[in-house]
A and B are shown apart, each in its own frame.
Chain A
């Protein structure tokens, strides 16, 4: 017998179930329990009356900066402003969804490709954002390379206000509804990379970005 069979058999014996593997009825019961997708208790602030204010508060806490623009057309100007304000070079690698915007007009070199290790800024969209924790959620896909949010020192993320949800559970419900199975990477980003491994002193910028800037449309 292999390890799998031995382990399953040991578990069953220890818990007083006969046989070497779960029965069809047991599997059905487990699937049924799973299919209920029972939601546990959530903290009161997860359903804040002002969802945007809750999101802003949590972004502030995690170190994500926030700007609001009226429409997608205004994104390049906001990016230009942000890059200038932080003394960053006016060049970025971005998701294809944003390639059609007027980047040249904002004085920015836009590279429509996944970020490489030496790109300074990556521009992404997101699947949704979560107010409870000040989080943006990225789903990997051919059009949404994860590395663009990970390798550059600055990550700019465009969020549409109507995609701002209360909780992580809401994001799972939306995922099931719009996508089905989770893709390879479901990536929750809440502020810039950090570490406290030396003397429990918080340092921003461990391996991922030093800066996360969210542009709300």
Chain B
């Protein structure tokens, strides 16, 4: 089974460890993983900023790079939403390459969904003894239905989960929103951090690096140097 790993631009730039954790998980489960080296970004920042043509150009680029794979997996609900939902429901509606994107969408998976629903993994390499709280990122949750899968995997690694109040509420990241409307974004993030603090969990775990950087940035700014901020892939791969 040939699985293409879409690393995501944020992971590539900022937290390569998450990419390697995903690689380890997929290879550990017996997949032949390919990482197209020319990959850059799914196009969502352009899409959500009104740059529709830029988004389409990048979507076509992604399509070309992963056409040969049996599956494509990304450690992000947001980028996966872009490639599974935005392309087929909006960007390429009524265009000749729609069938190609439908095929891509059908074989594209967010990492936790792929591990649980396709590979049906029953053990993970990571061992995590502490308590974590899980933030549901919006796109993964509402566009793709990512909810129980990462929790199931975290528990497999031995983590216990303390649910925060409003786990499904947006952390305020929203891509360029976090910069354009920074004050509102910061307040939303502070609300999220309040919920996180109230759980007293040692780590806040999520499935989208954008949200995690946002949350980490606010926690650190408000003096919290201890709470770990982790992608679930790092925890379950034992690479935290």
Is chain B in direct contact with chain A in the complex (CB below 8 A)? no
B residues lining the A interface (CB < 8 Å): none
